[in-house]
Amino acid sequence: MKENAKYHVPALLSESINGLNIRPDGIYVDATFGGGGHSKMILESLNIDGQLYGFDQDEDTEKNRLNDKRFTFVRSNFRYLSNFMDWYGVKEIDGLLADLGVSFHHLDDENRGFSFRLNGNLDMRMNNRAGINAADILNTFPEKDLADIFYQYGELRSSRAIAKAVVNTRNQKRIVTTQDFLDILKPFLSREKEKKHLAQAFQSLRIATNSEIDALKELLMQACTLLKPEGRLVVITYHSLEDRLVKNFFRTGNFEGIVEKDFYGNVLTPFQPVNTKIIVPKEEEIELNPRSRSAKLRIAEKR
């Protein structure tokens, strides 16, 4: 796993695996295979009859696939979970894990455009075969749509001004690199919160490029249908938008957090939250892996 550790160091690894409450002969899904860290630990808990399916849309992850007869690598976005489970003849699963963080591999590769620390092409696609990239969005989307992206996905108060600056810039020249985007953002950054605001801006563009919110919603709904009773859904989030969706879905069965009750006052939800208090990395883990700082783990069990 040394080479895979360079690809990504999973946050909350033991906590998330324990949260799956793995049955040795069960069928499990690692919806975000990445470097294979979670998958390897899941396989260690399965016997010869257990099965694991690892999803990842990035072709770079294929070199990390595990040589194990119990493991099947699926080169696809997890939003197509149901399609592939049906393809493999799987009607029910015992658990699903999704680590929604961006891998170290993506952040440290200037050619992918995920990080404001490195100058390179402003791509940001998790799947290199996908359609438009981040630069395409900046160069073609209407100003109002850009403002909505920066506000809804990045929670940036200066979203409208940034969108206007993007349009003004692209009228002069095409926006191509991460440095081009940084130059647009600079006038709107305060020295005290520069890194935070840059992270929010890049996050918003990444989410839009990969349709991450829609994909997450589709994954959660499909996982709910596929899970057996007492099956576990384990999700690690890294920003408030994702975490709010997961929290609402686990508690109420919908993404708006609207509580519905039956005639007797019982909450109608397909899940029972396993951890009422959110699980976050301990100081020791943060010291070893600073990028785990924002990780939040939620676990739910199918009723």
Chain segment 134-190, per-residue pLDDT in tens? 999 999 999 999 999 999 999 999 999 999 999 999 999 999 999 999 999 999 998
Domains 2-104+212-302 and 110-210 share a fold: no
**CATH pick for 2-104+212-302 out of 2.60.40.420, 3.40.50.1100, 3.40.50.150, 3.60.15.10:** 3.40.50.150
The pTM score is 0.94
The CATH homologous superfamily to which domain 110-210 belongs is Putative methyltransferase TM0872, insert domain (1.10.150.170)
Report how far residue 242's alpha carbon sits from residue 203's, in angstroms, rounded to the nearest whole number. 12
Residue 230 phi, psi (nearest 5): 75, 5
296, 207, 177, 156 alpha-carbon torsion, rounded to 10°: -80
Domain boundaries of the chain, sorted by first residue: 2-104+212-302, 110-210
Nearest Cα neighbor of 270 from 254, 247, 256, 257 is 254
pLDDT band at 4 (very low <50, low <70, confident <90, very high): low
**pLDDT for 267:** 87
